[in-house]
């Protein structure tokens, strides 16, 4: 499997797109600080100190980082979680 990492217009958000479905159906899911999700992959991403919130839909997850976080450090951590889940 492979994941493409793409910047978004928001410098604090990065889009991670898989070549297969991560989430079934036509509903998006988001997790904000203090929340949990039925999707364990989102819960694991939220456990990363640098992550502020996450949004997922079908084959992508957008990760929003905290203002002090650096993408050079955070991106490999996000990719490792996606790989752990088979993406």
* DSSP per-residue codes, 4-64: EEEE-SSTTEEEEEESS-SS-SS--EEE-TT---S-HHHHHHHTSTTEEEEEEETTEEEEE
Query: Which pTM was predicted?
Result: 0.95
Q: Specify the pairing of strand 60-65 against strand 51-57.
A: antiparallel
- Please give the chain's pLDDT, 87 residues, in tens: 589 999 999 999 999 999 999 999 999 999 999 999 999 999 999 999 999 999 999 999 999 999 999 999 999 999 999 999 999
pLDDT at residue number 1: 59
Apex 53 CA angle, 50 and 40, nearest 5: 95
pLDDT of residue 2: 86
Domains and CATH numbers, the chain: 3-82 (3.30.1370.70)
């Amino acid at each position: 499997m492979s994941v493409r990492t793409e910047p978004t217009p928001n410098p604090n958000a990065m889009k991670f797109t898989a070549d297969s479905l991560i989430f079934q159906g036509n509903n998006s899911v988001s997790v904000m600080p203090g929340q949990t999700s039925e999707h364990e992959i989102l819960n694991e991403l939220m456990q990363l100190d640098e992550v502020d919130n996450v949004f997922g839909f079908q084959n992508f997850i957008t990760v929003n980082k905290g203002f002090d976080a650096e993408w050079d450090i955070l991106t490999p951590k996000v990719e490792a979680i996606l790989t752990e889940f088979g993406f």
